[in-house]
Amino acid sequence: MKLVIFSPATRTSAIGRSTSLVTNALKKSGHTVVVVRSEDTSLLNAEAHDFGVELVPWTKSKQVAQLVRNADSLVYQIGDNFAYHKGCLEWLPHAPGVVCLHDFFLGNLFSGWAQDHMVEALATLRAWYGEDAATAYFGHSATEDFIDATHGVAPLTEWICSMGYGVITHSSWSIQRVLDSCPGPVEVVALAYDAPSAEMLKITASRKDACETFNVLTVGHVNPNKRAESVIRAIGESAVLRSSTTYRLVGNIPADVSGRLASLAKNLQVKLVISGEADAVTLQKAISEAHVVCCLRWPSLEAASASAIEAMLYGKPVIVTDTGFYAELPDACVRKIRPEHEISDLQQALESLHGNESARLALGAQAAEWAAATFRADNYAARLIKVSLATQDAAPMLKATQALAGILRQWEASPSLMTSSDLTEPLRVFNHRQETARDGIAIK
Amino acid sequence: MKVLVVNNMAPFVWGGAEELAVNLQKNLIAAGHQSEVLRIPFQWEPATRIPSQMLMVRALELWNVDRVIALKFPAYLIRHPHKTLWLLHQYRQAYDLFDAGQTNLPADQMGSDLRHLIHQADNECFRESRRVFTNSEVTRGRLRKYNGFDAEVLLPPLNDPELFPGGPAKGYIFAGGRINGMKRQHLLLEALAQTPSSIRLLIAGPPDTPADGQKLVDLTARLGLGDRVQLDLRFLPRRVYADYLNGSFAVAYLPFDEDSLGYVAMEAATAGKALITTDDSGGVLGLVKHRQTGWVAEPQPTSLADVMAAVYADSAITHKLGTAARDLWLAMGITWPQTIERLLS
């Protein structure tokens, strides 16, 4: 099969890393793949992951159009970062294909796109969420206010999924919006991820484990929903943790957030290390030095978490919030805390892991074994081919559906009218119920 | 030229629009064209089923057709690069009947959404049509008011004028045509109950539903009018219908805000019969001028009773008004050859 995959390629993109693994697995299975880099023009020359195939910038319109014409399947890797996925948004509406959905919340992606498409953006909001949501959407001043206000009522999942002929996503927790909006097959597939230095780091970690202070790590862009503040409070409120723990943040962090967290840590006498954005080697070293990795989220926005998966692959004990993708992880492989008892649960989990090295090692080993069997590129590649074939089969029906839906949109039909059974039943093209299950294709 | 006439179809319902479509086809052929009628099924109950039918019309593709002349909603949504509308009906329950509280659209957000959808689809259709004609000033005014489009009025000619030469009155007022609540035959019965016993009424035509017919039967019995009213509630052969009309003293036709002059009124005028209507009957008022060609009453029994009594009060005046109605109709010069020429212009 000839596949064209639109994806960020820069080494700072976890989605790019996952895609590179899948691309290599597809190649190994005998498929032909071209990757179209989807980043903003300012990032198109950044160092890329090793895809092992030709990389074409999305801006080379003629070349990309030629690739699209000749492809058997078009694949779009979509996450909530406009700078990384701008090219996807340029091509997806004109050349629909399979959407690999990495985040259920796409508000940041949408907001970035909306800057140059305000009329369409407002129409999109109105169509999916109503007039009130459209009016209020762009009125939030702070990022956290914006996420709080929109993630539940207007996550924009439907905006992207309605443009795809099929969707692969990586957990089931917010699947209903995908099912409601994607006209084609939907499949839940475990994200493809790896830990290239895992064996080496496990050896290093076990050698050092007994003699280090208790290192707690959080990885990734330090947004409010990653709960760094709660980790600091949990440590600060525990005498045993406060005296022996170093809490490290690795990832991009805005200056105001950095200052606020540093001040809080100082007040609570918590040793905080803010490392900022790091390259792969520094990140791997940080993971190797960590005794526990905190992957907390509230609210949860993503379909899967690369940082949680990576930490598990490296055999680290991982503490997660019992929500979204994280809730679907096996209880035996991670420690889960209840969001409504966040600090007390977190403190208890950290204290129990702090005092019990064998429990840490056992939890990490179990996580590593499960993660290595689950987050496999060869599995992902096989599923991607399966969905691509299902999408090809469904394409004539989907095109008919889109044509009729286009007429209704032209007539400004409301979402409730477009989905009413009195409309869909007689037409027999919208109305196949859809079910989804992990590793199972469901065609509407 | 190959001209396709596109109209709605409600199975086993036949009325003025159906007659018009058939006669348009006949006269197109008479004018030297090839013509067929495409009838597209339309069921307006429940209203929530209307959008799917609009979509299906819109999805149809036509080949081997030079011109389309479309008549009614939603049939006129059909796509063709050279489409002319001769607008007989929009979906009035989304327009003036909605304002009058006589709509079948749900009284909730879904109803508003349906109404908006119909307006938008209509506007798109009017924009894409080469020409838009209406069958009356009323339809034209409604189109202008609700959709902002102007149109040329093209009144429909009578299809078989030779059947209506008139004739001696046999002593009854005739109310012909489809039987339903909008045509308000029940008002005539209620009025008749308030008139002298010498006045008689003949109501004849096909009920839209069995309930529409039963309502008149029950009302006649309840008002004790059995010996003064004849109900012939069925689809009548044209000859029978024409005989009823030709033998009448006057013809009553009281639709609520009719779009056009109305076939019943045109046939009555052709036969030289005085006309009775109401001041809210819309296009019919184009032919019925109070005390010139007939009588215009208020749409309530007492006023209608006065008018019915006036028909019998002086037969010479009634005859004179009938003659004036025929003169007015003939002066309008509405013929099929002229109509075809305008439609294909």
A117 to chain B, closest Cα gap in Å: 23
User: Quick check: B116 contacting A, CB < 8 Å?
Assistant: yes
Q: Do the beta carbons of residue A173 and residue A300 sit within 8 Å?
A: yes
* Of residues B52, B53, B113, nearest to A414 (C-beta): B113
Tell me the sheet residues that pair with A75.
Answer: A5, A98
pLDDT tens digits, chain A, 444 residues: what are they?
999 999 999 998 999 999 999 999 999 999 999 999 999 999 999 999 999 999 999 999 999 999 999 999 999 999 999 999 999 999 999 999 999 999 999 999 999 999 999 989 998 998 889 889 999 999 887 777 888 889 999 999 999 998 999 999 999 988 999 998 888 899 999 999 998 776 666 555 555 555 569 999 999 889 888 999 999 999 999 999 999 999 999 999 999 999 999 999 999 999 999 999 888 888 888 999 999 999 999 998 888 898 999 999 999 999 999 999 999 999 999 999 999 999 999 999 999 999 899 999 999 999 999 999 999 999 999 999 999 999 987 777 777 877 888 899 899 998 788 878 888 787 765 444 343 333 333 333
Q: Dump the DSSP string for A15-72.
A: HHHHHHHHHHHHHHTT-EEEEEE-S-GGGTTS-B---SS-EEETT-HHHHHHHHHH-S
3-state SS, residue A287: helix
* Of residues B46, B48, B120, nearest to A411 (C-beta): B120
Tell me the chain B residues in contact with residue A413 when contact means C-beta distances shorter than 8 Å.
51, 113, 117
CB distance B117–A408 less than 8 Å? yes
The amino acid that residue A145 corresponds to is D
Phi, psi of A23 (to 5 degrees): -60, -45
From the list A11, A9, A23, A15, the residue with the least C-alpha distance to A385 is A23
State the pLDDT at residue A290.
94
Q: Give per-residue pLDDT as tens, B143-194.
A: 999 999 999 999 989 888 999 999 999 999 999 999 999 999 999 999 999 9
State the pLDDT at residue A27.
97
3-state SS, residue B34: strand
Chain B, nearest residue to A418 by Cα: B51
Q: Give per-residue pLDDT as tens, B15-49.
A: 778 989 999 999 999 999 999 999 999 999 999 99
Tell me the sheet residues that pair with B282.
Answer: B258
State the pLDDT at residue A384.
98
How many residues can be counted in chain B?
345
Residues 204-243 of chain B with CB under 8 A from chain A are: none
From the list B280, B279, B303, the residue with the least C-alpha distance to B290 is B279
CB distance B117–A411 less than 8 Å? yes
What are the structure tokens assigned to A98, written together? 């399979």
Beta strand residue intervals within A322-390, DSSP E: 335-337
Tell which phi-psi region holds residue A6, choosing left (phi > 0), alpha (psi between -120 and 50) or beta. beta
CB distance B59–A404 less than 8 Å? yes
C-alpha distances (whole Å) from A206 to each of A72, A199, A319, A371, B195 are: 48, 11, 19, 19, 110
User: Quick check: A437 contacting B, CB < 8 Å?
Assistant: no
Q: What's chain B's average pLDDT?
A: 95
Chain A, nearest residue to B111 by Cα: A417
Residue B41: how many CA atoms within 13 Å on its side-chain side? 7
Q: Give per-residue pLDDT as tens, B285-322.
A: 999 999 999 999 999 999 999 999 999 999 999 999 99
Beta strand residue intervals within B248-293, DSSP E: 250-252, 274-278
Q: At what angle do helices A198-208 and A357-374 cross, to 10 degrees?
A: 180
Tell me the chain B residues in contact with residue A414 when contact means C-beta distances shorter than 8 Å.
109, 113, 116-117
B86 to chain A, closest Cα gap in Å: 22
| Count of pairs with CB atoms under 8 A, one residue in A, one in B | 54
Token pair 């086809």 is found at B25
Tell me the chain B residues in contact with residue A417 when contact means C-beta distances shorter than 8 Å.
51, 110, 113-114, 117
ipTM of the complex as predicted: 0.71
Q: In whole angstroms, give the CA distance from residue B159 to residue B173.
A: 23
User: Quick check: B59 contacting A, CB < 8 Å?
Assistant: yes
Tell me the chain B residues in contact with residue A403 when contact means C-beta distances shorter than 8 Å.
59
Chain B, nearest residue to A405 by Cα: B55
Q: In whole angstroms, give the CA distance from residue A234 to residue A238.
A: 7
The amino acid that residue A47 corresponds to is E
B75 to chain A, closest Cα gap in Å: 16
Residues 372-411 of chain A with CB under 8 A from chain B are: 403-404, 407-408, 410-411
Cα-Cα-Cα-Cα torsion A62, A64, A67, A68, nearest 10 degrees, comes to: -110
Q: In whole angstroms, give the CA distance from residue B33 to residue B132.
A: 21
Q: In whole angstroms, give the CA distance from residue A311 to residue A283.
A: 11
CB atoms within 10 A of CB A217: 27
Interface test with B, best of A409, A411, A421, A428 (most B CBs within 10 A): A411
State the pLDDT at residue A203.
52
Residues 286-325 of chain B with CB under 8 A from chain A are: none
B122 to chain A, closest Cα gap in Å: 9
pTM over the 0.80 mark: no
Tell me the chain A residues in contact with residue B111 when contact means C-beta distances shorter than 8 Å.
none
State the pLDDT at residue A397.
76
Q: In whole angstroms, give the CA distance from residue A346 to residue A330.
A: 18
CB distance A411–B121 less than 8 Å? yes
